[in-house]
Structure 1
Amino acid sequence: MPRAGLTPERVAEAAADLADSIGLENVTISALARNFGVADASLYSHVKNIRDLRVRVAFLAASDFADRITAAVAGRAGRDALVAFANAYRDFALAHPGRYAATHIEIAPEEAVRSTGGARIIGATYAVFHAYGLKEPDLTDAVRLLRSTFHGYVSLEAIGAFRDPREVQASWDRGVEALATLLENWPSSNS
């Protein structure tokens, strides 16, 4: 019988909070059970195993990430939308490192249908690119470039890798502006 007050949603939210504080890779059923003050077995009424728990955290994180990105870009287009998207991306990744890590775990297609968060992130991403008039395969190439740039930047920033005296925010702003200029002048592949 499930312990009073525990639900799959509450367990996933607590796991996401724990991931933000100790890292997703350190979240275990035992660590989470200690957080709730229950035996490990009590959590198995709410999650099947550690994989199920991490997938639930990924779904929660993707939904939150999508909410933040879509709110940031609402009513914006072009460079303004790109800057808002980039800043929402960075803010989420830095404020919620465990949740952000969860958005990168591999989700099987049969699992992915349980959540719309990932699809909403993709939709918001492609909406930002609409103003740049890119067509495939250029659109995919541009999305991959920005995603890898943003991910690389926030990953390095999170570990304190930017030690130069130049303010990190100033470099971020300059980099996003450079990416906007690149998108405005994207070389067509004609493939």
Structure 2
Amino acid sequence: MPSPGLTIDKVVDAALDLMREEGDKALSMSALARRLGVKPPSLYNHVKGVDDLKRAMRLSGLRTLHQHLQAAVVGWSGPDALWAAGQAYRTFAREHPALYSLTLAATEEADEELQAAGQQLLTTLMAMLRGYRLEGDAALHAIRCLRSALHGFVSLEIGGGFAMPLDLDESFDRLLRMLDQSFRAEGSN
């Protein structure tokens, strides 16, 4: 019988809090049950185990990242949309590092729900790149470049890899300007 008031969203949020506070290795059904004040079997009304829990967390991460990106780029195109998307991506990764890390893996084709969440992100980014006249394979290559650049920057930032006393915001703006120039050149070919 489900515990009153316990929902999949509460389970996912508690799991993310646990990972954020104690690290990825601390995530277990028993640790999560203690955090939620329930017996471990109560969690199995919402998830099948740790792997299913991580899947639910990943789905939450993809949906949340999509919401952030979509809200940022709506009404913008070209460099303005790129800047807004870059800022939203960076903010999401910095504010939700555990959730962000779960969004990085490729989605299994058999998982239609995760595929749909990933496709929403892709659709938003493809629409953003139309401002650069990039479509089809050219847009997909551009998205890979964009994702690689943003992930590299935020991973180094989150991990403390930028130790020099140099303005990180300026460095990030320069990265976005370089991407903008590259996308403009690609779109004019």
Shift of 1:137: 3.0
Q: Provide, for residues 94-137 of structure 1, a one-character-per-residue CA deviation record: whole Å limited to 9, x for no partner.
A: 10001101112343223233674322211111111111112443
Shift of 1:68: 0.7
- Determine the structure 1 residue equivalent to 2:51: 51
Is the counterpart of residue 21 in structure 1 residue 21 in structure 2?
Answer: yes
TM-score under structure 2 length normalisation: 0.91
TM-score under structure 1 length normalisation: 0.90
Distance 1:19 1:141 in 2: 32
- Determine the structure 2 residue equivalent to 1:121: 121
Alignment of 1:123-142 (within 5 A): 123-142=123-142
Shift of 1:11: 1.0
Give the partner amino acid of 1:137. Answer: D
- Determine the structure 2 residue equivalent to 1:42: 42
Q: Percent identity?
A: 35
Give the partner amino acid of 2:95. Answer: A
- Determine the structure 1 residue equivalent to 2:146: 146
Tell me, what secondary structure is at the counterpart of 2:6?
coil
User: Residue 135 and residue 116 in structure 1: after superposition, are their counterparts in 2 closer, same or farther (change >3 A)?
Assistant: closer
Shift of 1:32: 1.1
Distance 2:5 2:63 in 1: 23
Give the partner amino acid of 2:181. Answer: T
Greater percentage in helix: 2
CA RMSD after TM alignment: 2.0
Q: Provide, for residues 17-70 of structure 1, a one-character-per-residue CA deviation record: whole Å limited to 9, x for no partner.
A: 333333445422122112112222221121101111011111111111111100
Distance 1:128 1:58 in 2: 24
- Determine the structure 1 residue equivalent to 2:68: 68
Distance 2:157 2:188 in 1: 32
8 Å contact kept, 1:132–1:183: yes
Tell me, what secondary structure is at the counterpart of 1:64?
helix
Aligned residues: 189
Worse-superposed segment, 121-130 or 19-28:
19-28
8 Å contact kept, 1:138–1:188: no
Distance 1:154 1:184 in 2: 23
Distance 1:27 1:115 in 2: 25
**Unaligned stretches of 5+ residues in structure 2:** none
- Determine the structure 2 residue equivalent to 1:87: 87
